[in-house]
């Protein structure tokens, strides 16, 4: 059985303001779904894997901050490996391989295929993946790449060089260069190099043996996860692909787009608007996504992207929209919207007082039967105003029913928890000196 590892740990800063550390680009539900409605990049690639009839098990490698989004979109039927901290692709792949070996009982001979979760591709892509897995099974090479015929010079991809076939549609790899300059990429394309798609295949033991020879013994998953920061924070391409002594490549010439920018995403969106959007008569090739309740009216724009959400508003020419990545860290210091297993929250307002006290106002929605943890805070007090639905409130081990119109004051260090009986909406006002999500002490409790 082939083991597929889907890499889902990235943040997708080029798709700000709708993508952030918790709600990364692969979770944005902007692609058309065959059954109607929309699906995310992650949902699309898993659907395509299942439709391809590839005989495989799927593991999603993500980080702790993305756990709830994964559960919401995929349910509990997919194996998930969570990084304790956000790092590059090499440590994420190592942790996932250790999970397969130590927790899932896979053999070192098992074939593993690693692929990103955000390319927009057709069914032929997964046929090429099957060829890669078969080439590993046949011991054609230790490491298999998927190569894409370049359409333009680019410094966003690694480049793969080949010199002939090893077997049917499997090319011998002579060299691999990770993300050269645009000038160098022109030369590479002239020499017939392929783009690296980020898809790799190998036997499980290939990676395990490298890790054990260079870094740490892989014999205890919990210990490896606790020492995760000791693994080099480097891409798989730099650490493994560039150094591979036995490598081959399967070319793929079908539909393939790396959905990393608004320019690319807008080209595959089924509609040019999402949300409360109104166009005038003089807009051409302009896409608008509005997740706010207020309307957006646009006129006189050409080749533009407008995206509005709780984290901010982007207005950009499509050709330059990817430059937002350079500025995201200066634009926001926390997510303003998150999906959790229990529901969602949206930040409505933030203030800072001259006396060092701050306030943060949230709108929270709890799904019926779900609850936020029983908890307390060291640095803030809270006021909850219930606006819709019915719930069970636990306050210092005493329980009561709450409903629309109730107002609850929660002091610092006071234990509190909430479970929704019906769909439950309330406004939370935090007041304190340090208003961060980390100021939560979770306590044991059975509802």
Tokens matching residue 296? 């957006």
Measured N-to-C along each axis, helices 204-214 and 89-102 cross at an angle, to the nearest 10 degrees, of 110
CB 394 within 8 A of CB 376: no
CB 136 within 8 A of CB 201: yes
Residue 71 has phi, psi (to 5 degrees) of: -65, -40
CA distances from 143 to 139, 201, 309, 310 (A): 9, 6, 42, 43
d(CA 171, CA 249): 5
SS3 115: strand
Helix, strand and coil percent figures for the chain, each rounded to 5: 25, 40, 35
d(CA 40, CA 53): 21
CB-based contacts of 375: which residues, under 8 Å, 6+ apart? 415, 416, 417, 440, 441, 442, 443
d(CA 70, CA 85): 16
Task: Using CB atoms within 10 Å of the CB of residue 370, give its burial: 0 to 12 exposed, 13 to 18 middle, 19+ buried.
Answer: middle
> Which run of H or of E encompasses 205?
helix 204-214
So what's the pLDDT on residue 107? Answer: 96
**DSSP string spanning 368-421?**
TT-EEEEEE-SSEEEEEEEEESEEEEEETTEEEEEETT-EEEE-TT--EEEEES
CB 447 within 8 A of CB 395: no
**DSSP string spanning 156-204?**
SS-EEEEEEEEETTEEEEEEEE-S--HHHHHHHHHTT-EEEEEEEEEEH
Numbers of helices and strands, H then E, in the chain: 10, 30
Query: Which DSSP symbol is given to 329?
Result: H
Residue among 208, 212, 231 at smallest CA distance from 85: 231
- Asked if omega into 17 is within 30° of 0 (cis), the reply is yes
CB 70 within 8 A of CB 80: yes
Tokens matching residue 169? 């549609």
CB 294 within 8 A of CB 302: no
CA distances from 40 to 6, 69, 81, 204 (A): 14, 11, 20, 29
Residues with pLDDT less than 50, the chain: none
CB-based contacts of 416: which residues, under 8 Å, 6+ apart? 374, 375, 376, 382, 393, 394, 395, 396, 410
d(CA 372, CA 364): 10
So what's the pLDDT on residue 329? Answer: 84
Q: Are β-strands 343-352 and 358-366 bridged in parallel, bridged antiparallel, or unpaired?
A: antiparallel
d(CA 305, CA 319): 9
**DSSP string spanning 337-374?**
EEEETTEEEEEEEEEE-TTS-EEEEEEEEE-TT-EEEE
CB-based contacts of 421: which residues, under 8 Å, 6+ apart? 368, 389, 390, 391, 392, 401
């Amino acid at each position: 059985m082939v083991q597929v590892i889907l890499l889902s740990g990235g943040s997708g800063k080029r798709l700000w303001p709708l993508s952030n550390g918790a709600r990364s680009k692969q979770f944005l539900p902007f692609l058309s779904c065959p059954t109607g409605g929309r699906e995310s990049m992650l949902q699309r690639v898993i659907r395509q894997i299942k439709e391809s009839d590839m005989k495989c098990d799927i593991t999603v490698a993500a980080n702790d901050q993305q756990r709830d989004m994964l559960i919401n979109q995929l349910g509990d039927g997919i194996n998930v490996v969570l990084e304790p901290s956000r790092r590059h692709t090499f440590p994420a792949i190592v942790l996932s391989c250790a999970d397969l070996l130590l927790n899932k009982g896979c053999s070192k001979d098992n074939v593993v295929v690693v692929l990103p979760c955000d390319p927009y591709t057709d069914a032929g892509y997964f046929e090429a993946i099957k060829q890669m897995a078969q080439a590993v099974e046949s011991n054609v090479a230790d490491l298999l790449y998927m190569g894409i015929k370049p359409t333009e010079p680019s410094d966003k991809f690694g480049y793969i060089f080949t010199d002939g076939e090893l077997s049917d549609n499997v090319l011998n790899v002579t060299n691999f260069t990770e993300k050269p300059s645009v000038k160098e990429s022109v030369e590479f394309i002239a020499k017939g190099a392929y783009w690296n798609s980020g898809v790799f295949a190998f036997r499980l033991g290939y990676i395990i043996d490298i890790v054990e020879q260079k870094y740490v013994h892989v014999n205890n998953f919990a210990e490896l996860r606790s020492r995760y920061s000791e693994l080099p924070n480097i891409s798989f391409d730099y650490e493994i692909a560039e150094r591979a002594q036995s490598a081959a490549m399967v070319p793929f010439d079908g539909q393939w787009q790396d959905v990393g920018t608004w320019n690319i995403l807008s080209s595959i969106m089924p509609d040019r608007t999402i949300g409360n959007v109104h166009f005038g008569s003089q807009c051409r090739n302009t896409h608008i996504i509005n997740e706010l309740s207020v309307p957006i009216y646009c006129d006189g724009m050409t080749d533009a992207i407008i995206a509005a959400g709780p984290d901010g508003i982007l207005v950009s020419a499509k050709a330059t929209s990817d430059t937002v990545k350079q500025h995201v860290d200066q634009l926001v210091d926390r997510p303003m919207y998150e999906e959790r297993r229990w529901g969602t929250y949206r930040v409505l307002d933030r203030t800072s007082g001259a006396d060092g006290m701050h306030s943060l106002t949230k709108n929270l929605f709890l799904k019926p039967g779900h609850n936020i943890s029983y908890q307390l805070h060291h640095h803030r007090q809270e006021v909850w105003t219930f606006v819709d639905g019915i719930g069970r409130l636990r306050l210092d081990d005493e329980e009561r029913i709450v409903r629309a119109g109730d107002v609850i004051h929660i002091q610092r260090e006071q234990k509190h928890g909430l479970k929704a009986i019906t769909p439950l909406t309330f406004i939370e006002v935090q007041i304190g000196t340090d208003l961060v999500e980390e100021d939560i002490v979770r306590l044991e409790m059975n509802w």
